[in-house]
Amino acid sequence: MASLTYAEALRQALYSEMKKDPRVILLGEDIGVLGNVFGVTKGFLDEFGCKRVRSTPISEAAITGAAVGAAMLGLRPVAEIMYVDFTTMAMDQIINQAAKMRYMTGGKVKVPMVLRTQGGAGSGEAAQHCQSLEAFFVHVPGLKVVMPSSPYDAKGLLLSAIRDENPVIFIEHKLLYGLKEEVPEEEYTIPLGKAVVKKEGKDLTIVATSFMVQKVLKALPFLEKEGIYPEVIDPRTLVPLDKETIYQSIQKTHFLLIVQEAASPCSFAAELAALVAEDMFDYLDAPLKRLCGLSTPIPYNKKLEDASIPNEENIITAVREILKG
């Protein structure tokens, strides 16, 4: 076991898969000489050459379109869109091409590509660089959506994503890159569609995504001082979604809090709330609650930015409100 940051875990996954499979190529802005702005691919250009590590122009449509074409012809591209905000420039390639091609050809053409991108606020980069847009992709049939919350999960999920035969949207929270955790040096994979119980508990189920998982875990000691022991579940992949693990927890605790950074309207939290209402209503002893980011563009001002994102105090308050009925 080695203590790796989230960025180092991603780097290790990419490196090992590129060494193992010559079909794996990288595309994206500044991924070559600079090793991308977060350092994930630093040194890859020297190791694998410019045919497999391709620094691209600033054109998200071109990056994604090239990746789709390469995947259709037998390669396994990992394309990086610098910030999820700018996937909006490549929606035709993502939604109408990558997501649809396998279905429209009756399975004859596969699109085994990964689109890595960074989401989330808290870095002071304002309204066009800090959004949480995962719900866009959850809504589209044909895409898989992954949001790792830890270095261990980042490595195992990225390896699975690269090997998957379908297009995978792999969203990394930019505030997680420095998070450290013990990660096995050997190769391992985490199945797409398998949630993890981050903390076992008995009093309430908390389902959280991405960086919100870390905030929930930090809030637990304060709740435990009050005699409240929540069970914390990280779906890890939003599509496919492991409903079974979530439902089993609700059957045990009878209360549910969903925590996400994205705004609530038409979000993943809204979808999960609807699923639970349809399938698990009789198991709930109180109405479920969603704790989400505010429905506002992310402010540049630090105090306003912090106020727009759920924090540990908000989580503690939400838990208390649910249990009080």
Catalytic residue numbers?
Answer: 129
Residue 230 and residue 150 in contact, taking contact as beta carbons nearer than 8 Å:
no
Query: SS3 breakdown of the chain: % helix, strand, coil, rounded to 5?
Result: 40, 20, 40
H helices of the chain, in order, are 6-20, 44-48, 60-72, 91, 101-104, 134-138, 151-163, 211-225, 243-253, 268-279, 302-307, 312-324
What is the β-pairing status of strands 237-239 and 144-146? antiparallel
**Environment class of residue 296 by beta-carbon count within 10 Å: exposed (0-12), middle (13-18) or buried (19+)?**
exposed
Buried b (16+ CB within 10 A) or exposed e, 128-150: ebbbbbbbbbbebebbbbbbbbb
Cα 77 to Cα 72: distance, rounded to the nearest angstrom:
10
Listed as own residue / partner, the contacts of 273-280 with beta carbons closer than 8 Å and 24 or more positions apart are 275/243, 276/246, 276/247, 276/250, 279/243, 279/247, 280/247, 280/250, 280/251
Q: What is the CA angle 300-146-223, rounded to 5?
A: 70
| Nearest Cα to Cα of residue 44 among 5, 20, 4, 11 | 11
- And the tokens for 76? 């396994």
Distance CA(321)–CA(279), nearest Å, equals 23
Residue with tokens 């391709």: 54
| C-alpha–C-alpha distance, residues 166 and 109, integer Å | 10
